[in-house]
Structure 1
Amino acid sequence: MTDAPDPWSDFVRELGMRIFRARSEQHLSQEQVAHAAGLATFTYRKLEKGESNPGTSANPRLRTIVAVSEVLGVPLPDLIPTPPKGLPPER
Protein backbone atom coordinates (compact mmCIF):
# COMPACT_ATOMS: atom_id res chain seq x y z
CA MET A 1 0.00 0.00 0.00
CA THR A 2 1.32 3.46 -0.89
CA ASP A 3 0.57 6.96 0.31
CA ALA A 4 0.50 8.26 -3.28
CA PRO A 5 -2.68 10.09 -4.27
CA ASP A 6 -5.19 7.99 -6.15
CA PRO A 7 -5.95 9.66 -9.52
CA TRP A 8 -9.18 7.65 -9.80
CA SER A 9 -10.42 9.16 -6.53
CA ASP A 10 -9.85 12.70 -7.85
CA PHE A 11 -11.56 11.80 -11.13
CA VAL A 12 -14.75 10.46 -9.54
CA ARG A 13 -14.84 13.32 -7.02
CA GLU A 14 -14.77 15.79 -9.94
CA LEU A 15 -17.49 13.79 -11.72
CA GLY A 16 -19.63 14.03 -8.58
CA MET A 17 -19.04 17.80 -8.32
CA ARG A 18 -20.08 18.29 -11.95
CA ILE A 19 -23.26 16.31 -11.37
CA PHE A 20 -23.95 18.26 -8.17
CA ARG A 21 -23.50 21.60 -9.98
CA ALA A 22 -25.77 20.57 -12.85
CA ARG A 23 -28.47 19.44 -10.41
CA SER A 24 -28.17 22.60 -8.31
CA GLU A 25 -28.44 24.86 -11.35
CA GLN A 26 -31.78 23.23 -12.13
CA HIS A 27 -32.97 23.47 -8.51
CA LEU A 28 -33.65 19.73 -8.36
CA SER A 29 -33.34 17.56 -5.28
CA GLN A 30 -31.20 14.46 -5.16
CA GLU A 31 -34.39 12.45 -4.81
CA GLN A 32 -35.90 13.96 -7.96
CA VAL A 33 -32.85 13.19 -10.08
CA ALA A 34 -32.43 9.72 -8.62
CA HIS A 35 -36.07 8.82 -9.23
CA ALA A 36 -36.06 10.16 -12.81
CA ALA A 37 -32.82 8.27 -13.56
CA GLY A 38 -34.16 5.03 -12.09
CA LEU A 39 -31.69 5.02 -9.20
CA ALA A 40 -32.04 4.62 -5.48
CA THR A 41 -31.53 7.96 -3.73
CA PHE A 42 -28.71 6.38 -1.69
CA THR A 43 -26.91 5.35 -4.90
CA TYR A 44 -27.29 8.82 -6.36
CA ARG A 45 -25.96 10.46 -3.19
CA LYS A 46 -22.88 8.24 -3.34
CA LEU A 47 -22.36 9.27 -6.96
CA GLU A 48 -22.34 12.97 -6.04
CA LYS A 49 -19.85 12.25 -3.25
CA GLY A 50 -17.61 10.23 -5.54
CA GLU A 51 -17.49 7.41 -3.01
CA SER A 52 -19.08 3.99 -2.89
CA ASN A 53 -18.12 3.59 0.78
CA PRO A 54 -16.24 6.07 2.95
CA GLY A 55 -12.69 6.11 1.70
CA THR A 56 -13.48 3.98 -1.38
CA SER A 57 -13.76 5.63 -4.78
CA ALA A 58 -17.01 5.22 -6.66
CA ASN A 59 -16.99 3.15 -9.82
CA PRO A 60 -20.34 4.04 -11.41
CA ARG A 61 -21.71 2.09 -14.34
CA LEU A 62 -21.79 3.83 -17.68
CA ARG A 63 -25.55 3.27 -17.77
CA THR A 64 -25.89 5.22 -14.51
CA ILE A 65 -23.86 8.18 -15.78
CA VAL A 66 -25.80 8.25 -19.06
CA ALA A 67 -29.14 8.17 -17.22
CA VAL A 68 -28.11 11.06 -14.94
CA SER A 69 -26.81 13.01 -17.94
CA GLU A 70 -30.15 12.60 -19.71
CA VAL A 71 -32.20 13.58 -16.65
CA LEU A 72 -30.08 16.70 -16.10
CA GLY A 73 -30.06 17.56 -19.81
CA VAL A 74 -26.28 17.87 -19.73
CA PRO A 75 -24.21 16.36 -22.55
CA LEU A 76 -22.17 13.42 -21.32
CA PRO A 77 -18.82 15.04 -22.30
CA ASP A 78 -19.67 17.99 -20.03
CA LEU A 79 -20.04 15.68 -17.02
CA ILE A 80 -17.00 13.47 -17.58
CA PRO A 81 -13.70 14.98 -16.40
CA THR A 82 -10.51 14.46 -18.35
CA PRO A 83 -9.00 11.20 -17.12
CA PRO A 84 -5.61 11.58 -15.50
CA LYS A 85 -2.62 10.29 -17.40
CA GLY A 86 -1.45 6.88 -16.35
CA LEU A 87 -4.77 5.99 -14.71
CA PRO A 88 -4.22 2.54 -13.24
CA PRO A 89 -6.85 -0.06 -14.04
CA GLU A 90 -9.47 -0.66 -11.38
CA ARG A 91 -8.84 -3.86 -9.42
Structure 2
Amino acid sequence: MTDVSDPWNEYARDFGARLRNARAERGLSQEHVAHAAGLATFTYRKLERGESNPGTPANPRLHTIVCLAEVLDLSLSDLLPQPPDGIAPGR
Protein backbone atom coordinates (compact mmCIF):
# COMPACT_ATOMS: atom_id res chain seq x y z
CA MET A 1 0.00 0.00 0.00
CA THR A 2 1.28 3.49 -0.79
CA ASP A 3 1.69 6.27 1.71
CA VAL A 4 -1.31 8.62 1.74
CA SER A 5 1.08 11.58 1.86
CA ASP A 6 2.57 10.49 -1.47
CA PRO A 7 2.11 13.47 -3.85
CA TRP A 8 0.98 11.10 -6.62
CA ASN A 9 -1.97 9.98 -4.48
CA GLU A 10 -3.08 13.61 -4.24
CA TYR A 11 -2.47 14.11 -7.97
CA ALA A 12 -4.58 11.05 -8.84
CA ARG A 13 -7.40 12.20 -6.54
CA ASP A 14 -7.31 15.67 -8.12
CA PHE A 15 -7.45 14.09 -11.60
CA GLY A 16 -10.43 12.01 -10.48
CA ALA A 17 -12.20 15.07 -9.09
CA ARG A 18 -11.68 16.88 -12.39
CA LEU A 19 -13.21 13.95 -14.25
CA ARG A 20 -16.16 13.77 -11.85
CA ASN A 21 -16.81 17.53 -11.97
CA ALA A 22 -16.60 17.75 -15.77
CA ARG A 23 -18.92 14.76 -16.14
CA ALA A 24 -21.44 16.20 -13.66
CA GLU A 25 -21.37 19.65 -15.32
CA ARG A 26 -22.30 17.98 -18.60
CA GLY A 27 -25.03 15.84 -17.05
CA LEU A 28 -23.41 12.60 -18.20
CA SER A 29 -23.46 9.26 -16.44
CA GLN A 30 -20.31 7.36 -15.56
CA GLU A 31 -21.47 4.64 -17.94
CA HIS A 32 -21.84 7.07 -20.84
CA VAL A 33 -18.39 8.58 -20.37
CA ALA A 34 -16.77 5.19 -19.88
CA HIS A 35 -18.26 3.64 -22.98
CA ALA A 36 -17.68 6.73 -25.14
CA ALA A 37 -14.00 6.65 -24.09
CA GLY A 38 -13.70 2.90 -24.72
CA LEU A 39 -13.42 1.97 -21.04
CA ALA A 40 -15.24 -0.44 -18.80
CA THR A 41 -17.51 1.39 -16.37
CA PHE A 42 -15.64 -0.25 -13.47
CA THR A 43 -12.35 1.20 -14.75
CA TYR A 44 -13.82 4.66 -15.16
CA ARG A 45 -15.28 4.60 -11.65
CA LYS A 46 -11.84 3.79 -10.27
CA LEU A 47 -10.36 6.74 -12.17
CA GLU A 48 -12.92 9.09 -10.64
CA ARG A 49 -11.81 7.84 -7.22
CA GLY A 50 -8.19 8.43 -8.21
CA GLU A 51 -7.16 4.83 -7.75
CA SER A 52 -5.99 1.90 -9.78
CA ASN A 53 -6.36 -0.64 -7.01
CA PRO A 54 -7.21 0.17 -3.40
CA GLY A 55 -4.27 2.13 -2.01
CA THR A 56 -2.63 2.57 -5.43
CA PRO A 57 -2.96 5.90 -7.26
CA ALA A 58 -4.53 5.86 -10.72
CA ASN A 59 -2.06 5.75 -13.58
CA PRO A 60 -4.09 5.77 -16.82
CA ARG A 61 -2.51 5.38 -20.24
CA LEU A 62 -2.06 8.47 -22.40
CA HIS A 63 -4.62 7.11 -24.86
CA THR A 64 -7.19 6.88 -22.06
CA ILE A 65 -6.52 10.44 -20.90
CA VAL A 66 -6.85 11.83 -24.44
CA CYS A 67 -10.10 9.90 -25.03
CA LEU A 68 -11.58 11.15 -21.76
CA ALA A 69 -10.64 14.74 -22.60
CA GLU A 70 -12.35 14.39 -25.98
CA VAL A 71 -15.51 12.83 -24.52
CA LEU A 72 -15.72 15.56 -21.87
CA ASP A 73 -14.82 18.29 -24.38
CA LEU A 74 -11.84 19.43 -22.30
CA SER A 75 -8.32 20.38 -23.20
CA LEU A 76 -5.65 18.19 -21.67
CA SER A 77 -4.46 21.18 -19.63
CA ASP A 78 -7.96 21.56 -18.15
CA LEU A 79 -8.21 17.86 -17.34
CA LEU A 80 -4.76 17.28 -15.90
CA PRO A 81 -3.67 18.86 -12.61
CA GLN A 82 -0.27 20.48 -12.23
CA PRO A 83 2.37 17.84 -11.46
CA PRO A 84 3.37 17.57 -7.82
CA ASP A 85 6.27 19.79 -6.73
CA GLY A 86 9.61 18.20 -6.11
CA ILE A 87 9.01 15.09 -8.20
CA ALA A 88 11.92 14.18 -10.40
CA PRO A 89 11.05 13.40 -14.05
CA GLY A 90 10.59 9.69 -14.65
CA ARG A 91 9.38 8.98 -11.14
Q: TM-score under structure 1 normalisation?
A: 0.90
Q: For residues 11-63 of structure 1, give each alpha carbon's deviation from its aligned partner in whole angstroms, at most 9, with x where no partner exists.
A: 01000000100000011000000010011101101111100111111111111
**Aligned alpha-carbon RMSD (Å):** 1.6
* Aligned residue-pair number: 88
| Counterpart in the other structure of 1:21 | 21
Q: 1:4 deviation in Å?
A: 7.2
| Counterpart in the other structure of 1:49 | 49
Q: TM-score under structure 2 normalisation?
A: 0.90
Q: Which amino acid aligns with 1:87?
A: I
> How does 1:29-48 map onto structure 2 within 5 Å?
29-48=29-48
- Unpaired segments of 5 or more residues in structure 1? none
**Are the equivalent residues in 2 in contact too, given 1:8–1:87 (CA < 8 A)?**
no
Structure 1: which 4+ aligned runs deviate by more than 3 Å?
none
**Are the equivalent residues in 2 in contact too, given 1:52–1:59 (CA < 8 A)?**
yes
Question: For 1:50 and 1:4, how far apart are their aligned partners in 2?
Answer: 12
- Unpaired segments of 5 or more residues in structure 2? none
Query: What percentage of aligned pairs have identical amino acids?
Result: 64
Q: 1:5 deviation in Å?
A: 1.1
